[in-house]
Amino acid sequence: MYLCDERVFGVFKKVGNDLSTPMPHYGFAGVKAGESWCLGGHSFVQAHLNGMAPQIFIHATHLKMLELIDLDTLKKYAIDL
């Protein structure tokens, strides 16, 4: 889980993952700044490598993330430690 903000919305919108725009025909109200959302592990790693990783709730992060990125790196982005 990660914390959404305007910077994060911009980053993911550029790669085709627009979370902030409502899509009522899918029952999706859009994510608002300050809300949390799930992010796939590979997307997080790519964002980290590009210097654009969002803050995360590390206690809601699946253990399998450690197969993709080390714990110390994840802790740098954690907002719930």
CATH number at residue 46: 3.30.56.110
The CB-side HSE value for 37 (13 A sphere, CA atoms) comes to 22
pTM higher than 0.85, yes or no? no
Instruction: Return the half-sphere exposure (C-beta side, CA atoms, 13 A cut-off) of residue 71.
Output: 3
Parent domain of 41: 2-77
- Return the minimum-mean-pLDDT range out of 11-20, 41-50, 51-60: 11-20
Number of domains in the chain: 1
pLDDT digits (tens, 9 = 90+) for 46-77: 889 988 888 899 999 999 999 999 999 999 99
Question: How many CB atoms are located within 10 Å of the residue 55 CB?
Answer: 17
| CA separation for the pair 61, 30 (Å, rounded) | 22
Could you tell me how many residues make up the chain?
Answer: 81
pLDDT of 1 reads 65
